[in-house]
A and B are shown apart, each in its own frame.
Chain A
Amino acid sequence: MNTLILISVLPILLLYLGLYKAKNALLPVTIIGLLAALGLVVAKWNTVAEPIYHGMMQFDRFAIAFSAITILSTILILMLSKDYFERISSHVAEYYAIILFSLAGIVVMVSYHNLTMLFIGIEIMSVSLYILAGIKKNDFASNEAALKYFLMGAFSTGFLLFGITLIYGATGSFDLDVIRDWALTHTSKTVDPMFYTGIMLMIVGLCFKVGAAPFHFWTPDVYEGSPTLITAFMSTVVKTAGFAAFLRLFSTCFASVSDFWMPTLMAITILTLCIGNITALYQQSFKRMLAFSSISHAGYLLFAIVALGVNSGNSVFIYATAYSVASIIAFAVLILVQQQSGNDNFESFNGLGKSNPFLAFVLTVAMLSLAGIPLTAGFIGKFFMFSAAVAKLQIWMVVIAVINAIISIFYYFRVIVAMYFRSADRTEMVIPGYFNVVLALSAIITIIIGIYPSVIANLI
């Protein structure tokens, strides 16, 4: 809880720092504050979790683990933001503040114990993101991304709310435990149709939020239009949080009626996988490719919810961690390449292997991880997902997933091929210290998790 308070107070502090022109203090203060928040979270680890604030929140291990990883990723991303926002406009403090506000929303999202909190968390996060997507005021793509993201987000919120309302009407409470007990006591015969409709609408709303097909169409545009750093934030931290919320809701409340919503979710998963992968094949822009691949990763993450079990939390956690870290590397390199070559096509990566071996190496690690090659974190994530699904004897789904994994090789390797095997005369670019730290750290995390996943595998 202190974490949440700290993360909510920090941005206000930043705003006032910005007012009093303490520009250089912003980033350090943010990082230190977040580290403190991280410490507070982890300190809670061994305390027994009770629903607090009249059952509004519950900081169980699930919540702590996900808060920790989201905060960590945010720190990594913010370290990339050195001199990034200054190039956009002068309201730097505001940007940091807004990112932190959305982080606060995310912490609520992963630790809610009441649908009210779910809604509030999602909204705090989304509203901040609407702004962040459009911070490039004069860049038309950015405006458009902001508007699309906003309209779609509000739209999906409507569905989510209607779902919550119907569930409330059926069960008479927003409390997760009450809803679970209600679902347990009502068999599919006696259950209220409102309840099922509510679940369906919530699935729609949440799928919008996590960008799962067929509600994904806003994702690529928004990811492409937004400033790259913000895209990194969206596609890592936000996605992680979205799935954490998704999983928390379904594993807590709706597990007993899974035979009802399972087929729908399966269809969505398959659709997400295929659409994400196949469209990613045809992209010429690395950024847009990442956007589509993030859709397909959403598909893999949905596996954990489809194959709901005791290990689902772990699977999502590991997969999300691996995915986030790898994506952070990818976006960090993308930012640098964009600064040098101006565009984000695959061609602009040509010859990176010669000019910046380190950069090329970490990006290779990231791509291998995203593609799920062993000895990287991505493989462990996929392994967990698949084994969960196979354990539920949904082998045909796994086979489809495997085929998609094979497809994904094509576009992930495109950048590797470009970096190493296609030569272009390019000057070595200077990498800021912050970037080096982030890249090295992320790569190390990726490989460590890939080689010895036990460090985080049995957290939840």
Chain B
Amino acid sequence: MELAQIGIKAGLVVIIFAISLVMAMYSTYAERKVAAFLQDRVGPNRAGKWGILQPLADGGKMFMKEEIIPTRASGLLFIVGPALAIMTACIGSAVIPWGQKIVAGNTIIDLQVTDINVGILYIFGVVSLGVYGIMIGGWASNNKYSLLGAIRAASQNISYEISMGLSIIALLMVTGTLSLKEIAEQQHSWHWNVLYQPLGFLLFLVCAFAETNRSPFDLPECETELVGGYHTEYSSMKLGFYLFAEYINMFISSAVMATLYFGGYNYPGMSWMAGHMAVWMPHAAPVIVPLIGTAVLFAKIVLFIFFFMWVRWTIPRFRYDQLMDLGWKILIPLAITNIVLTGAWITVHDKFFK
């Protein structure tokens, strides 16, 4: 790998970074708009047209606010917490394939930061790192609400990680690889995994909600019980980091779900499209076609994000024991059943229908 490719990669990294930040910012905006829509309100409409600049305003505000570090908090950890949260959120996107190879002249640009053969495990690692940020922050701020929130967050995340892993295993049995790139390739045109793994997808979806602490699993920050939850004591950009982290996680998990189950950048009739484009505009085609795929992927992501918000504003919050029971006593057995069924089905299928 030469310097040039390193440069390209670096550029890609920066772009994706920017995109995910922007997505996060605008999903805050979207959140409020969706909430307004579902509650038959107008929502933010002052900053810019339709309040389009609202996120910028919020961001600016975040920057300008006074940062408060309570005296009884343990200083360093208090800062490390949110930083860790945002960092783990940001590096998750490294292994997601955003599209096929772009062939510009003689340089091949791979629309993926890197294709490592353990992509899924990487995602898992990063996701489970995320809880550290919350845990450290909550513990460091030396506040009962924060501590409770953090602990809730921690045990909730770990509880749902198990079933998440189990649900993924069923998927791996189908795909037979851990590399997200290959998984995406396998789902050419309409062969999306969700068709083979409906139950698995549902499980994964629920777990994704829980992992991102989104409602109805947002007990760590449920204001009725814990004021602000783990970020009670935080202000200015540190608070901003936590919020950002949540939205970026939402974005990443949507991307993962789209890639794993909904074909990533694949869409029905993509080969038809590719063929016609090649005839139609032979020079631009190698650049355009992948970008269309990327657009499709982003469309899916946006849909998922919308789904997240939709659920948030429609479904009431769980009680904590219900949450745990769901995680342990329902999802895990379901996931194992799913594995068993998948295994049996594939074996039978390979034996007799091939």
Q: Do chains A and B touch in the complex (CB under 8 A)?
A: no
B interface with A by C-beta (< 8 Å): none
A interface with B by C-beta (< 8 Å): none
